[in-house]
A and B are shown apart, each in its own frame.
Chain A
Amino acid sequence: MRLGRREFITLAGGVAGGAALGRVSLRGISRLNEALEPPSALYPGEEQWLRSICSLCSGGCGLKVRTVGGRVIKVDGNPIYPVNRDGICPRGQTLTQLIYHPDRILAPAHRSAIDQPWETSSWDQTLESLASTLRRLRGADQQNRVLMVSGRSRGLTSKLCSHFLSSYGSNHFFELPSGMETSQRALEFMAGIPNDGKAYRMAYDLENSRYILNFGCDLLEGWGTPAHTMRLFGQWRDIKRGRRTTLIHFGPRLSVTAARSDEWVPVEVGTLGAMALGIAFVLISEDLYNRSFVESFSFGFEDWTDRSGQAHMGFRRWVREEYRLSRVSEITGISSETIVRIAREFAAQPGSIAIGPQQSPVQPGRLSDAMAIQALNALVGSIGTRGGVSLIPEFGWPLPVADGNETMRTASLDGLVAVLDQSPEVLILDQAAWFIDSLDDAHLDMLNRIPLIVSTSPVEDATSKLATLLLPDCTSLESWTDGQSPSAYPYDLIALTPPVIPPRGDSRPWGETLLALARMTDPALESVYPWKDMESLYRASANELSRRENGYLFGTQVDEQWQRMLERSGWWNPDWTSEDEFWDGLVNKGGWWDPATWVSEPQHSFQTVSGKFEFFSQRLEALLREKGGIQPGLQPSVEWDRQILPHHADILPDNAPEGFEWTLDPYEPLVFFGGASRQIPFLQQITSPYSGPRGWRSWIEMSAEDAHRMGIEEDETVWVESARSRIQRRVRILEGGKPGIVGAPLGGAPTTGRWARVESTLAEILVPISDPYLGVRSHATTRVKIYKA
């Protein structure tokens, strides 16, 4: 079935007409899918089920792909892929729509300016035009005028990007933030990491957690790996396990996670740290904390004196004096009884864990809040233990080069914006639509001044709209695709799958494009990157991995338990005996992992100044002394110890300006997080059914109480105005939402392509708030007023 745009609109409009806002007609979606199928609806030929890996978010779930006659028909979860084990989120299922998207970019192209038409050209010609610019800048010693922004935070292609930039001489490589950065820094300050030059990552053993205090993380939306988290939700409620994991969600917004939790505690905006310290108050006052851990393996819990004889306040006294229940209740808006009850439940059993704050790429949260949350984990002894949190060595695909130097990755949006201010000449946007979503008009103007913007997007999107050179990547199903432990995942894992179908048109895997670009830019790099294609590179990398003497090729859940029991007891029964066997096994089974990565013994040794878990981080103190205190002007002067100890500080001024009575809380819905999915009709449709000629539109969420008071109806259009600007949005009314809170999704309607809709971005009105310690954006929570359009 093939439809033109007019027919499609009619069809999709019919879908919306038959469904209330927020609900979807399955029949309508089915018809919508048919509209997006490739030209022939009949696919003669052999049916195959092949494995691949999803590239639509950094989680990288394993896929089982049905093809008929060489066409991709259906995508499901791979049952032996440990991260998602059969499960798959709605994004993964839309890969077919991405492959056969009518706005696919199927050949390299260039144009003289963004308002000029595209001209297709050969790969050699297009690459040479970029390579010649790179050579010129290098000749002028201006390599730092080249920057790359990538949505790939893991995998061999990502390593290739950073190594290529390093070889070339540019220091500017920005990657999609995971949202865990602030929480990880907090844990690094308090628990430390070895100074061994290795990268470490923060991970949770949520599978074995029994009681979870979730401080604002959208677990079921843009957090970690959606399919993995959804699987965990199922396990937490699986009666066969003989116990139920309790999930308590703290946060002002009635999110999907809040609604699906055992209890939603609607704290005031910006009070997550205070809530954590209120719980700490109860644990300490009622003597419910883990004495064994705190007394033997922590530092700074009691008052102490440093080498110079200076007395310092201990965490115990700090919390007892500053975070009494009445004060915490006043700050958070939650009753003392609720705080006491939750604290007692939290301390009642092993496997309790506190996660957060937020951990969203757009709102990673504040360091002081994150430290308060990690202090809770220490109080119940959940650092580096079963069901707890830990910092584990980052393990991934090795790049088999003699010189392993890579350009340092930066995940700071503010840092990236600062570089844009330095007149870059070449900007390479690789899976970077998320980046454009985060920019307001002023930033976009800065981008428009860059002479050469390269997009690797396989489909028309926000990056191709800005670009003058297209080097189209293909989808993960059309190329060798790798996987790696996603953020927060507790096990070491690497995965690899061959192409399910050949690349469509003249698109090419970005990794192979980079190899070619490196050779064209500098022939000397040919010896550094001797591989003719990505398969050869993966093979060389896999050969290095085959020398490991731990872990197993992917298998069933029985294999998983079997292998974990073997390794935990000191035995290892390898699946391979040679490089060839490892390669064959890797490709056939889809990957390797170590199900015994997670510590089986509680962590009692810490890489901190004291060698213990530090409630008073001496590393943070040293850092602040170096800086002369926290950044001037961002925080009022306070006593020295109060800067170091976990604490609460307001993020918004107490008194809202006249009329700005709502607090807008931006979030990343499942379908749009990472920014890459705006073009996919199915994903647009499940969030925002097509509204006829008005197209797909973005929205805000208001409580029913506020909407009723304002006389605002469902789907009515309103102005949302902040101190910076105002935008229009339609309204979704949430029964049970917290009054005074307005939720607003990032992402939204496509900005380019056949279904593009001109719409102001949310970034236009957001007023970012910086973390006073880290100097990076921590929140985008903004005071707004709302009125009918």
Chain B
Amino acid sequence: MKTNMQRRFLFLLGKLLLVAAVLPLYLSGQTTDTRAGLIVFREKGCASCHAVLGEGGVLGPDLTRTASTGNPLELAAAMWGHAPQMWQRMKLEHLELPTFTTEEMENMFAFLAMIRSFDEPGNAVVGQQVFQAKQCATCHSIGGQGGDLGPNLTTVASLRNPVAWVAGMWNHGPGMVRALRERGISFPEFQGTEMVDLQSYIRLQAGAAADEKTYLRPPSTERGESLFRSKQCINCHGIDSGGGTSGPDMSRVVLPRRFGEIATVMWNHEPQMNRLAAAASISYPQLEAQELADILSFLNSLSMRWTGSASAGAKLFESKGCVNCHATTPGQQSPAPNLGKIEQSLTPITVSTIMWNHGPRMLEQMENTSMTWPVLTSRELADMIVYLESLKGRGQRPVRSPSSGGTP
């Protein structure tokens, strides 16, 4: 039972955390190894059931094609929620149940976060429809057909990364907007993966010209943050309430998880941004493809952050029935481990590790007492983690976990 003082403390802490908004998780990006994460993914047998980008098993879903972002909290919540099903299926398939160290889980999460930001090859059939619907052929030619006002698209067919493609469009944006206006053609906005599909169509139409391949180097979140300032993006877009206000605060915007799709969002706002920048006497930023990739990496990393409310977590601890088995007060005995005694810093990754390694025993005990496995949303999991951290008197400290920054 909590004392009144404890309740008051938790209430205040919860308020504080909600006001503090987001807490960075994947920003440092120094210690995790995304390639090592792939090794963990393969060696622990995850790849036997789950595919990534179409490669791997088919028993479970392809982890790059599910709806959530690569945010570790969402991954942890999904893992928590589906763990009993996974254990049951693994038992049926006679698969060995692996255990994870925190480092392994962290590397695997970093890998999954990164891989989920990768664009998949587009659909050329859809791309053809986009090409026609957006009237690209009015100005551009491909395969010997189309207009000659803009560049022949065969010349950019070697670009394999949608970010490079958007960078090319971005740099010619003002000219394109003028030309479109003169011809009475509306500015082409793209949805979802349309830009990637369009690129796929261009490649197929270009034939052998697309055999040459031009890639981008893996982007740097740190360089991206620096470019975000030097290219004066910060003058319009704030980060954590710092910076300009004429554009949206990028730490509060929910961006798509794939780089090509983030770049598409940026392209869709090009006319508006151009106008606002001109009004604020900010020169239109020319971006090398690699620079754009770096900036997008920085923006992507912002979506890796999470926060929670200790007071909400405390309520969940009761409503989800955790309190029935786990004590939280030092020295108190309970059927399941006293969670107030956990010394390890709790993050979505450490919680996932503990849950995965000890979960089967927990599930067995719950089944013996006719209890159901508690399913938690990512928000609920965040609240629960902050609450459990608060029990150690460390709840106000930002919960940090080093990771990749969500970039390759």
A contacts, CB < 8 Å to B? 194, 196, 198, 240-243, 292, 296, 393, 549-550, 558-559, 561-562, 564-574, 600-605, 607
A117 to chain B, nearest CB (A): 55
B128 to chain A, nearest CB (A): 9
Q: Could you say which residues of chain A place their CB within 8 Å of the CB of B218?
A: 566, 571, 573
A205 to chain B, nearest CB (A): 13
B93 to chain A, nearest CB (A): 10
Given A567-B215, A570-B163, A601-B122: A561 in contact with B208 (beta carbons within 8 A): no
Q: Could you say which residues of chain B place their CB within 8 Å of the CB of A243?
A: 58
Given A558-B39, A603-B204: A242 in contact with B161 (beta carbons within 8 A): no
A604 to B120, CA, bound (A): 18
B59 and A569 contacting across the interface, CB-CB below 8 Å: no
A241 to B39, CA, bound (A): 17
**Residues of chain B in range 12-39 having any CB-CB distance to chain A below 8 Å:** 35, 38-39
B104 to chain A, nearest CB (A): 14
Given A558-B38, A603-B204: A569 in contact with B120 (beta carbons within 8 A): yes
A296 to B123, CA, bound (A): 14
B191 to chain A, nearest CB (A): 20
Known pairs A242-B48, A550-B215. 14 more at Cβ < 8 A? Answer: A242-B58, A393-B208, A549-B214, A558-B42, A569-B118, A569-B161, A570-B161, A570-B162, A570-B260, A601-B121, A603-B204, A605-B204, A605-B205, A607-B208
Q: Could you say which residues of chain A place their CB within 8 Å of the CB of B164?
A: 570
B408 and A566 contacting across the interface, CB-CB below 8 Å: yes
B215 and A561 contacting across the interface, CB-CB below 8 Å: no
Interface segment out of the listed B49-57, B229-237, B249-257:
B49-57
**Residues of chain B in range 161-204 having any CB-CB distance to chain A below 8 Å:** 161-164, 200, 203-204
A567 and B124 contacting across the interface, CB-CB below 8 Å: no
Q: Could you say which residues of chain B place their CB within 8 Å of the CB of A570?
A: 119, 159-164, 215-216, 260
The 9 listed contacts between A and B (C-beta, < 8 Å) are A240-B48, A550-B215, A562-B38, A565-B53, A566-B118, A567-B213, A569-B161, A570-B163, A573-B218
B38 and A242 contacting across the interface, CB-CB below 8 Å: no
Which of B53, B203, B211, B215 has the most CB atoms of chain A within a 10 A radius of its CB? B215
A604 and B161 contacting across the interface, CB-CB below 8 Å: no
A10 to B119, CA, bound (A): 67
For the complex of A and B, the 8 pairs showing the least CB-CB separation, nearest first, are: A570-B161, A572-B215, A569-B118, A194-B208, A600-B121, A570-B160, A242-B57, A605-B204
A393 and B115 contacting across the interface, CB-CB below 8 Å: no
Q: Which of A196, A241, A559, A565 contacts B52 (CB 8 A)?
A: A565
A196 to chain B, nearest CB (A): 5
B59 and A242 contacting across the interface, CB-CB below 8 Å: yes
**Residues of chain B in range 75-125 having any CB-CB distance to chain A below 8 Å:** 115, 118-122, 124-125
B337 at the interface (CB under 8 A from A): no
A465 to B267, CA, bound (A): 72
B248 at the interface (CB under 8 A from A): no
B168 to chain A, nearest CB (A): 13
Q: Which of A549, A565, A601 contacts B115 (CB 8 A)?
A: A565
Given A243-B58, A558-B38, A604-B204: A568 in contact with B216 (beta carbons within 8 A): no
A463 to chain B, nearest CB (A): 39
B217 at the interface (CB under 8 A from A): yes
Which of B159, B204, B218 has the most CB atoms of chain A within a 10 A radius of its CB? B204
B292 to chain A, nearest CB (A): 12
B157 to chain A, nearest CB (A): 11
A565 and B59 contacting across the interface, CB-CB below 8 Å: no
B330 at the interface (CB under 8 A from A): no
B207 at the interface (CB under 8 A from A): yes
B53 and A241 contacting across the interface, CB-CB below 8 Å: no
A767 to chain B, nearest CB (A): 42
Q: Could you say which residues of chain A place their CB within 8 Å of the CB of B53?
A: 565, 568-569
A273 to chain B, nearest CB (A): 30
A567 to B42, CA, bound (A): 19
A286 to B149, CA, bound (A): 49
A571 and B161 contacting across the interface, CB-CB below 8 Å: yes
A606 (CB) vs chain B CBs: closest residue: B207
Q: Could you say which residues of chain B place their CB within 8 Å of the CB of A559?
A: 35
B217 and A573 contacting across the interface, CB-CB below 8 Å: yes
Given A565-B52, A571-B215: A605 in contact with B160 (beta carbons within 8 A): no
A590 to B67, CA, bound (A): 41
A567 and B160 contacting across the interface, CB-CB below 8 Å: yes
A477 to chain B, nearest CB (A): 33
B216 to chain A, nearest CB (A): 6
**Residues of chain B in range 120-170 having any CB-CB distance to chain A below 8 Å:** 120-122, 124-125, 143, 159-164
B57 and A550 contacting across the interface, CB-CB below 8 Å: no
Q: Could you say which residues of chain B place their CB within 8 Å of the CB of A558?
A: 35, 38-39, 42
A574 to B143, CA, bound (A): 32
B38 and A561 contacting across the interface, CB-CB below 8 Å: yes
B118 and A565 contacting across the interface, CB-CB below 8 Å: yes
B215 and A602 contacting across the interface, CB-CB below 8 Å: no
Q: Could you say which residues of chain A place their CB within 8 Å of the CB of B143?
A: 605
A616 to chain B, nearest CB (A): 21
B217 and A572 contacting across the interface, CB-CB below 8 Å: yes
B57 (CB) vs chain A CBs: closest residue: A242
Q: Could you say which residues of chain B place their CB within 8 Å of the CB of A566?
A: 118, 218, 408
A550 and B42 contacting across the interface, CB-CB below 8 Å: no
B408 and A571 contacting across the interface, CB-CB below 8 Å: yes
A564 to B120, CA, bound (A): 12
B125 and A604 contacting across the interface, CB-CB below 8 Å: yes
B258 (CB) vs chain A CBs: closest residue: A569
Q: Which of B200, B211, B215, B408 contacts A601 (CB 8 A)?
A: B200
A607 to chain B, nearest CB (A): 6
Q: Could you say which residues of chain B place their CB within 8 Å of the CB of A550?
A: 213, 215
A267 to chain B, nearest CB (A): 33
B115 and A605 contacting across the interface, CB-CB below 8 Å: no
B53 (CB) vs chain A CBs: closest residue: A565
Q: Which of A562, A567, A569 contacts B35 (CB 8 A)?
A: A562
B262 to chain A, nearest CB (A): 13
Q: Could you say which residues of chain B place their CB within 8 Å of the CB of A574?
A: 217
A641 to chain B, nearest CB (A): 28
B207 and A194 contacting across the interface, CB-CB below 8 Å: yes
B212 to chain A, nearest CB (A): 9
Which of A559, A574, A604, A607 has the most CB atoms of chain B within a 10 A radius of its CB? A604
A492 to chain B, nearest CB (A): 10
B207 and A605 contacting across the interface, CB-CB below 8 Å: yes
Q: Could you say which residues of chain B place their CB within 8 Å of the CB of A569?
A: 53, 118-120, 161, 408
A433 to B162, CA, bound (A): 52
Which of A196, A565, A574, A602 has the most CB atoms of chain B within a 10 A radius of its CB? A565
B99 to chain A, nearest CB (A): 20
Which of A242, A564, A573 has the most CB atoms of chain B within a 10 A radius of its CB? A242
A243 (CB) vs chain B CBs: closest residue: B58
Q: Could you say which residues of chain B place their CB within 8 Å of the CB of A198?
A: 208
Q: Could you say which residues of chain A place their CB within 8 Å of the CB of B208?
A: 194, 196, 198, 393, 607
B82 to chain A, nearest CB (A): 18
Q: Could you say which residues of chain A place their CB within 8 Å of the CB of B120?
A: 568-569
B37 (CB) vs chain A CBs: closest residue: A562
